[in-house]
Chain A
Amino acid sequence: MSTYETMIQVIDPIGLHARPASLIVKAVKESGLTVMIGRQGEKLTKANSPLMLMALKIKTGETLTVSVESDDEESAANLVAQIRDFLQG
């Protein structure tokens, strides 16, 4: 199992609000992978709860660290691409 870490900037004008948070958790659950998300340089939160993601109060323009545990680089990359898309707004 390896860990893939990526930086994603939040473009959505309302920040990481309820809708992207729900979409991210849904995608993570469907992938079956373990994903941690948080502010760059801060403690990461497990992305299995929309409420915990919302409670980070991430705003537009902030950069997130997204860390995916996976055996397979391609499925990790796919999931990251989806998450990036949800944060475009």
Chain B
Amino acid sequence: MSSSFMGRDVISILDFKRDELEKLFELSDKARRLVNRKLRILEGKVVSLAFFEPSTRTRMSFEVAAKKLGADVVGFSSEESVSVAKGENFADTVRMLDSYSDLIVVRHRLEGAAKFASEIALNPVINGGDGRQHHPTQAMIDLYTVRELFGGIDGLTYAVVGDLRYGRAATSFIYALTLFKPSKIYLASPPILVARPEVTSLLKSRGIDFEELSRLDEVVGEVDVMYVTRVQRERFPDPSEYEKARGAYRITLKLLEKAKRSLKILHPLPKVDEIELQVDSSRHAAYFLQASLGVPVRMALLAMILGGEL
């Protein structure tokens, strides 16, 4: 068990080293074998789920992971349900939760909220998504899925597709890849949704081979892992631009005719129509496997942070 995780905050995937993530993945393997059992290793611990912004998958998988380890779970899933709606500030809400529980998972629409929470709370804070910036536990699950599918993360060609400007899952996935040795990363997005300067400048400074594209079909044959995210209508001032972008980044069986047989598609979910329904049952779809790995990876992470032996 790695002592480097004990009592630790999880704010950004960039806070972690490769070998730490590899240890987490080893423990996730163990958690998968135990996932159908009710364990008692975190008995007596309380996990707070402070979701100031709606979430289904992240919140529920944290809840299931904590309960499977024997912890009690408290929390809320929107600002309306807590005193924030009465005007209480974020800092006071975090202080209160910190006094009630042993660990807080925070999701908030503002970037930096989880980091700020970690400065206030005495107990560990896990970032469950802060605005457009980080979603570190999603990135852990994504990498773990790639490792499961390919036996490793290095040496593969990746394409990250869709909204790279506002999408925290895509951003965190790109950040996560900088901790490994990808062969190449293609960043495919509409021009108004390109990756933010801090993301591309990190890729440059870490010597990662990457290329920004506005068309995906030209490179689809080279790609091993395609990470697809949703292009949201509200990001486009002009509806006709949205329609064009939606078509250009939609993953269809026709597009995949050019792909390697071994290509795997990941998606942080929820997906709407950015992946053609027929793709779900193709050899390429790996997003349901990816979603199912959310619980064991989060079990491993909670156990390591709270000091439970899996």
A binds B: no
Residues of B with Cβ closer than 8 Å to A? Answer: none
Residues of A with Cβ closer than 8 Å to B? Answer: none
